[in-house]
Amino acid sequence: MLQRIAELKKEKNAVILAHNYTCPELQDLADHTGDSLELSRIASKTDADVIVFCGVHFMAETAKILSPEKTVLIPDKNAGCPMADTITIEKLRLFKAMYPGVPVVAYVNTTAAIKSEVNVCCTSANAVNVVRNIDSDTVLFVPDRHLGAYIGRQIPEKKIICWDGCCPVHNRILATDVINKKKMYPGALVVAHPECPADVLELADIIASTSGMIREIKNSDKNEFIICTERGLIHQFAKNSPEKSFINVNPVNVCPNMKKMTPEKLLHCLETMTDEVVREDSVIKNAAKALERMILY
C-alpha cells in the first residue's frame, strides 16, 4: 500500500499534509506534519498540483482557499470539527449585529463562509499576536470560548467578547485529571493546548499550539510531561524527544474526526481523486483576505 501511495503521489505530483492529531501511520507517511498554521503556510506555497490534506475538513478547506488553483483532496469529507459547527453564517451575522463596528477574529476552526465575513483569522499558534495587533479595544472572537478567554488573560487591556463554542475533546479534560496525574508524577511538567478549560490551563507549565508543544518539550531540560491535548500528538513528542516520557492526562482525549483519516482512505483518495474540496469563487476570494492576514503573523 505504501509503495502504491508513493507511485500515485509521483504520478499526480501530489503532496501529503497531515495534522499532528492524525494516526501515527499517516503522520509517518506524510510529506509534512504540523499544526494548523504550519500546514496552512505549506499549502499556500507548495508547487505540487494536488494537495492531499489528512486532517479535519476546515483544514483542507483552508488549503483550498490559500491555493485555489490546486486540486485539494481530503481522504474523508465527513471529518468535521464539532467546534467549527457551533457557529453558522446566520448566527455570525446576528452576533456582529449586536456589536456594530467591532472587529471579528475567527479561529481557523471555522467554515469558509465564516472566514469570508470576518476581519482576520488566527490559529492557536498566533491568536494572541493577531488579537494584540487589532486596532480596537474590543474584539469579537469566534467560536472557541476557552481560546478566547485565554487570549483575554494575555491581553487584559482588551475586551474579548467570545462566541460560546468549544472543542469537545479538550473540554473533557478536567483539572481533577491533571491534579491526580501531578500527584502520581510530581516532577512532570504539564503541557496543554489553549483549547482546554481555564482551570486546566491554570495548572499548565507550557501552553502552546500542537507544534509549539513539540518544540517546547524538545527544548526543555525536564524529562516527564503530562499531556493535556489530543493523544495523536504523543507520536510526534516521542519522535522528536525519544529520551523523554509522556503521561496522557486522560484516555478520553481522542478526536474521532481526525481518526477518520487512514492510509487505506488516503490510497483510495489518490486513486479516485476524491473527495475534492470545492467552494464558490466569491467565498474563496473573501475568505482568502482573512487567511492571508493570518499567515503573516
Least distance to ligand SF4, CB of residue 147, Å: 9
Binding mask 214-253 for ligand SF4 (x = CB under 6 A): ----------------x-----------------------
82 binds, among ligand SF4, ligand 13P, none (CB under 5 to 8 A by kind): ligand SF4
Site for ligand 13P in 118-147 (CB under 6 A): 123-124
103 binds, among ligand 13P, ligand SF4, none (CB under 5 to 8 A by kind): none
CB atoms within 10 A of CB 119: 17
35 binds, among ligand 13P, ligand SF4, none (CB under 5 to 8 A by kind): ligand 13P
Least distance to ligand SF4, CB of residue 56, Å: 4
Give 86 or 123: the residue with its C-beta nearer to ligand 13P.
Answer: 123
257 binds, among ligand SF4, ligand 13P, none (CB under 5 to 8 A by kind): ligand SF4
At 114, is the secondary structure helix, strand, or coil?
Answer: helix
Cα separations (Å) of 108 from 78, 175, 226? 18, 26, 26
Site for ligand SF4 in 247-286 (CB under 6 A): 255, 257-258
Please, which residues bridge with residue 65 across strands?
Answer: none
Of the CA atoms within 13 Å of residue 183, those in its CB half-sphere come to 5
Query: By CB under 6 A, is residue 210 in contact with ligand 13P?
Result: yes
Euclidean distance between CA atoms 181 and 205, whole angstroms: 14
Pick the binder of ligand 13P from 109, 110, 116, 171 (CB under 6 A). Answer: 109
258, 19 in Cβ contact below 8 A? yes
CB-based contacts of 144-152 (< 8 A; 24+ apart in sequence): 144/83, 144/107, 144/109, 144/195, 146/170, 146/171, 146/194, 146/195, 146/196, 146/197, 146/198, 146/201, 147/107, 147/194, 147/195, 149/198, 150/194, 150/198, 150/201, 150/207, 151/127
CB atoms within 10 A of CB 8: 18
Cα separations (Å) of 22 from 36, 41, 90, 295? 12, 19, 31, 22
Which grid coordinates belong to 247? 503521561
Give 8 or 169: the residue with its C-beta nearer to ligand SF4.
Answer: 169
Least distance to ligand SF4, CB of residue 222, Å: 25
Query: By CB under 6 A, is residue 56 in contact with ligand SF4?
Result: yes
Euclidean distance between CA atoms 165 and 161, whole angstroms: 12
Pick the binder of ligand SF4 from 12, 41, 82, 154 (CB under 6 A). Answer: 82
Site for ligand SF4 in 185-204 (CB under 6 A): 195
Pick the binder of ligand SF4 from 169, 173, 270, 283 (CB under 6 A). Answer: 169
CA 205 centroid distance within chain: 21
Query: By CB under 6 A, is residue 35 in contact with ligand 13P?
Result: yes
Give 74 or 270: the residue with its C-beta nearer to ligand 13P.
Answer: 74
Q: Is 132 exposed, middle or buried (0-12, 13-18, 19+ CB in 10 A)?
A: middle
Query: By CB under 6 A, is residue 195 in contact with ligand 13P?
Result: yes
109, 148 in Cβ contact below 8 A? no
Binding site for ligand 13P (CB under 6 A): 20, 35-36, 109, 123-124, 167, 193, 195, 209-210
Binding site for ligand SF4 (CB under 6 A): 56, 81-83, 109, 167, 169, 195, 230, 255, 257-258
